Amino acid sequence: MPSSSSLAMQRLTHDGQRKLAPAFIDAREIAVAVHASPNLVAIHRVRIEDGALARLHPTVAAHQFDPAFSRDGRYHAYSMSSTSPQLVLVIQDLRDKREHTFRPRDARATARSPSFSPDGSRIVFSLSDVNGHQIAGVNREGEDLRLLTRSTGLNTSPAFSPDGRQIAFSSSRTGDFEIYVMDADGANVRQMTDSPGLDTRPAWSPDGRRIAFTSNREGVYQIYVMQADGTAVRRVGSDNERHDFAGWHPDGERLLVVAERGGMSDLYLVEAPA
């Protein structure tokens, strides 16, 4: 049984709308997909100091999910609905105002959960296509597609390590979702967790020493933190309401999470276990 920590949580938003996959733009702002209306999921930017929300792509009428940003803030990627149920990957150069789209071959396929390499040259993501549900990568122009996994089951939620040498991801290849780590080229796959519940959505700490992830191993979705080698698993928080989508603050000392309180979904910052 992993140890549990009871840590104070700082509430950032108060609107209660359903939120998915937040990501830091920088130390002052967050991007998050918000189910703001019955017919639209849209990415919003959130100011940390006051929780103010504003559409990040106000002219886009399609659903938008899974925002990601390069370390230097120049590049932005997200998933966008195309032909139903296809989701394409949009990659933007925010400095030069250029945009590229990676479109899966199958009209029913999806590209989800992008993550930039530290130098911003590659984007890995979860690709559901003719080759199954695999971890794949493309360059900043959405070209040079490479499959990094070729396993059975579903391979999802990839995340580059801060040094760019490894990718953490979630996979159901053994029948149950666990956290795995592989080299950046897809070699040397290692299983990091082994629990009876679902373990998913890994996120590396800025120093590369810890991995946060979501698990329902204790019956409710909660955030856990472990060492990068899979040891010393600790639960973040002790209440029994849902916590999901962990991301590390750039300071490496706090975690950004989506937490539910009485049916209200909001962003919180919580101190990360050492």
Q: What is the pLDDT tens value at each position of the chain, 274 positions in all?
A: 454 445 678 999 999 999 999 999 999 999 999 998 888 999 999 999 999 999 999 999 999 999 999 999 999 999 999 877 899 999 999 999 999 999 999 888 999 999 999 999 999 999 999 889 999 999 999 999 999 999 999 999 999 999 999 999 999 999 999 999 999 999 999 999 999 999 999 999 999 999 999 999 999 999 999 999 999 999 998 788 999 999 999 999 999 999 999 889 999 999 998 7
CA gyration radius for the chain? Answer: 17
pLDDT at 7: 60
Confidence (pTM): 0.95
Structure tokens at 26: 């920088």
Give bridge partners of residue 34 from the DSSP assignment: 19, 42
Domain residue ranges in the chain: 3-271
Q: Rounded distance, CA 265 to CA 119, Å?
A: 33
127-150 core/surface letters (b: 16 or more CB in 10 A; e: else): bbbeeebbbbbbbbebeeeeebbe
pLDDT at 38: 82
CATH hierarchy code of domain 3-271: 2.120.10.30
Residue keyed to tokens 């945009």: 99
Q: Rounded distance, CA 155 to CA 127, Å?
A: 8
Q: Are 130 and 106 a contacting pair, CB within 8 Å?
A: yes
Which sign, positive or negative, has the C-alpha torsion 129, 99, 205, 43?
negative
pLDDT at 2: 52
Instruction: Please state, in angstroms and as integers, the Cα–Cα distance from residue 266 to each residue in 160, 184, 262, following that order.
Output: 26, 33, 11
